[in-house]
Amino acid sequence: MSFFTSPAFLLAIIFVVATVYSLYAKIRDSKAVEAPAEQPKAQTAPQAVATPVAAGPEIVGADDKTAAVIMALVSHQTGIPLNRLSFKSIRLMEDK
């Protein structure tokens, strides 16, 4: 008799499947209870439409890698997260 055809193995498989199903049922029921009843929507003022933001800053005289390093340095030095900063343009200055 093989291990995979033994009654103990079959009972273990049945136990695992039953446990997984009961956990799934509990999760499904708890989500149904947590879902708030749909409230009728009150009339609200129309929301302002956001204007699209440019794809990125205008980069003059530098490659993309240099511009990325500059933006990361500004973010680090100011302590402002990079996603909160807005760069309009990045220009490479000549040394004199």
- Would residue 51 count as lying in a domain? no
- Would residue 68 count as lying in a domain? yes
Residues 12-47 have pLDDT tens digits of 888 888 888 888 888 887 776 665 556 655 566 555
User: pLDDT value at position 6?
Assistant: 80
Cα–Cα distance, 29 to 83 (Å, whole number): 38
- Would residue 25 count as lying in a domain? yes
The C-alpha torsion from 32 through 34 and 36 to 37, rounded to 10°, is 40
- Would residue 78 count as lying in a domain? yes
Residues 53-83 have pLDDT tens digits of 556 778 888 888 888 888 888 888 999 888 8
Which domain does 82 fall in, by range?
A: 58-91
- Would residue 48 count as lying in a domain? no
Half-sphere exposure of 70 (CA within 13 A, CB side): 17
pTM for this model (two decimals): 0.41
The number of folded domains in the chain is: 2
